Structure 1
Amino acid sequence: MAGALFAVAAAFAAAPAHAQDMQSAPSFVDNFSSFDRSRWYVSDGWNNGNHQNCTWSKDLVRLSDGVLSLSFEKRKLKDREFACAEIQTKQRFGYGVYEARMKTDTGSGLNAAFFTYIGPQDKKPWDEIDFEVLTKDPSKVQVNSYIQGKPKNGKLVDVEGGADKGFNDYGFVWEKDRLRWYVNGKLVNEVTNPDELPTNPQKIFFSLWGSDKLTNWMGAFADPGRKVTMQVKRIAFTALGQPCQFPESLACTITNSN
């Protein structure tokens, strides 16, 4: 549920997926030595709906010493009392290995997410693949996907040592017939049901946001009284069949389907 909650998603639910739709942008590794504006769009001045208690602000996306920071703070912005941060790729990516190295903060009612998403605003069905650290409990991360706007495969898995105590590696391998999630190189969830696999290329997102409405899921929101930050050291996409791009990459060790 890291992607936007669009009521019009149902209007696109019946749209067929075609093989040519899976054309993907090329492999890349971004270590955030600089901020590549040809790759990234920074969300600014809007929000994802009534469930979100903050407005995206470009001011809360910062880069320093090879670490990208996305923050959440109390600052009235438009009709919200808080400001939050999100970036997304301008290109769409298909089957391959997706990997992020990141560290989260803590706080009830907040969501620190690394995910892929496409939806009605791009004239596509809502497909999504998620890692979501609900920072009320940073000892775990939620993995899940959305297929044509419907949640699938949700599972809470342990993050050894805690998502907030150090940088951890989150990755998923998306193939035509299989979807696998990994935390620090360990397989934590796998799906092979064709009805529960995304079929549309997606953009890559990082976001940190809050809600005072989704309490059953994210916990009761509490003003943290400080700036809360998630940090990202690396993001990579390796297309299926392409060589692994750095020694620690999942693409160096996993076996992909043909």
Structure 2
Amino acid sequence: MKKKSIFTLCITVLLSAVLITGSALGATGIWEPFNYYNSDLWEKANGYSNGNMFNCTWRSNNVTNTSDGKMRLALTSSSYNKFDCGELRSKAKTGYGLYEVRMMPAKNPGIVSSFFTYTGPTDGTPWDEIDIEFLGKDTTKVQFNYYTNGVGGNEKIIDLGFDASRDYHTYAFDWQPNRITWYVDGVARHTATTNIPKNPGKIMMNLWNGTGVDSWLGSYNGANPLYAYYDWVRYTSR
């Protein structure tokens, strides 16, 4: 029993060190402080475009880790009227639980900075998605949304009382079988209880500029480079 206790203590200390110093995937969740790029947990979108309202091409070079321990997504222009954007997503799918991000979105008309879960036909599943989105035209607000089997129309705009593009704040959603509750700096701001998604999805973050959706995002003026910053991400399984 003594040997087993010592072994258990050593394992606990080692796991704690991993969680403190670098990203980790455990039985109960994910902790990502963005000290470095962990290719075992994450992948960068590269070399293609989602098309439709996305007016850019995903580039892995537009996803970088900064020297002060942040993950930076960039929106840039490689040539006139050609735009590159950034997206990071988890390799593993996650289900019900608490999803948290500490981030600072980009500010400019016509763009979106996001944190969300997604799965869809490319994964062999229905389209289920839960969103935290910042529309760059007004970063004093945040948009919460979700899709279940491709059915959306659940947008909710929340006044933050501050400009999200000026400092880091913590945004979260708690996804349960019968509800989703969104939080800003630990305070519940919106709850949905109808037609809740059920399929596990990938954790995703992206920055992109839109086209043909001016009524939603405003008209993108071509300004670049633009950056969204992510301090950390945490997922806790329920």
Same fold (TM over 0.5): yes
Counterpart of 1:90 in structure 2 is 91
Deviation at 1:179, TM superposition (A): 0.9
Distance, in Å, in 1 between the alignment partners of 2:133 and 2:70 is 19
Query: How far does residue 93 in structure 1 lie from its aligned partner after superposition?
Result: 0.4
Query: Which residue is 2:230 aligned to?
Result: 232
Tell me what 2:18 maps to.
none
Matched, 1:142 2:140: no
Distance 1:142 1:27 in 2: 25
Structure 2 Cα separation of the partners of residues 129 and 30 of structure 1: 19
Q: Could you tell me how far 1:183 is from its partner in structure 2? A: 1.0
Tell me how far 1:50 sits from its aligned partner: 2.6
Match for 1:66: what amino acid?
Answer: G
Contact 1:102 1:234 in 2 (8 A): yes
Deviation at 1:63, TM superposition (A): 0.5
Match of 1:222 in 2: 221
SS at structure 1 position matched to 2:166: coil
Taking every aligned residue pair, what percent have the same amino acid on both sides? Answer: 34
For the residue of structure 2 that corresponds to 1:153, the secondary structure is: coil
Matched, 1:99 2:88: no
Q: Distance in 2 between matches of 1:29 and 1:176?
A: 23
* Deviation (angstroms), 1:26: 4.0
Letter in 1 for 2:77: K
Query: Larger Cα Rg: Structure 1 or Structure 2?
Result: 2
Aligned residues: 212
Which residue is 1:201 aligned to? 200
Residues 25 and 92, structure 1, Cα contact 8 Å, conserved in 2: no
Q: Which amino acid aligns with 1:191?
A: A
RMSD of aligned residue pairs (Cα, Å)? 1.5
- Structure 1 residue 162 displacement after superposition: 1.1
Task: After the TM superposition, list the runs of 4 or more consecutive aligned residues in structure 1 that deviate by more than 4 angstroms.
Answer: none
Match of 2:56 in 1: 54
Structure-1 separation of matches of 2:85 and 2:33:
22
1:69 paired with 2:72, answer: yes
CA distance in 2, matches of 1:237, 1:36: 16
Measure how far apart 1:76 and its partner are. Answer: 3.9
Gaps of 5+ in 2: 1-25
Q: Which residue of 1 aligns with 2:14?
A: none
Question: What is the rounded CA distance, in whole Å, between the counterparts of 1:49 and 1:75 in structure 2?
Answer: 18
- The amino acid that maps onto 2:122 is Q
Aligned mates of 1:70, 1:177 — CA distance in 2:
33
Q: SS of the counterpart of 1:90?
A: strand
**Distance in 1 between the 2:78 and 2:107 partners?**
19
The runs of 5 or more residues in structure 1 that have no matched partner are 1-23, 241-258
Partners in 2 of 1:38 and 1:26 — Cα distance? 17
What SS does structure 1 have at the residue aligned with 2:165? coil
Partner Cα separation in structure 1 for residue 134 and residue 150 of structure 2: 20
CA distance in structure 2 between the partners assigned to 1:216 and 1:117 by the alignment? 24
Counterpart of 1:72, as a letter, is L
Does structure 2 conserve the Cα–Cα contact (< 8 Å) formed by 1:128 and 1:147?
yes
Q: Which amino acid aligns with 2:161?
A: E
- Measured in 2, the distance between the counterparts of 1:118 and 1:50 equals 18
2:165 alignment counterpart? 164
Bigger drift between 27-36 and 199-208 goes to 27-36
Q: For each residue in 1:157-203, what CA deviation from the matched residue of structure 2 results, as whole angstroms up to 9, or x when unmatched?
A: 0223211010011100011111100111111110122xx20010010
Preserved CA contact (<8 Å) 1:25 1:93: no
The offset of 1:105, in angstroms, is: 1.8
SS in 2 for 1:150: coil
Q: Could you tell me how far apart the structure 2 residues matched to 1:138 and 1:229 are?
A: 13
Give the residue type in structure 2 aligned to 1:180: T
- 1:25 CA displacement: 6.7
Secondary structure of the equivalent of 1:151?
Answer: coil
- SS, match of residue 212 in structure 1: coil
- The alpha-carbon distance between structure 1 residues 25 and 116, as it changes in their structure 2 partners (threshold 3 A), is farther
Query: Contact (CA 8 Å) 1:25, 1:91: kept in 2 or not?
Result: no
Alpha-carbon distance in structure 2 between the residues aligned to 1:140 and 1:58: 28
SS class of match (2:199): coil
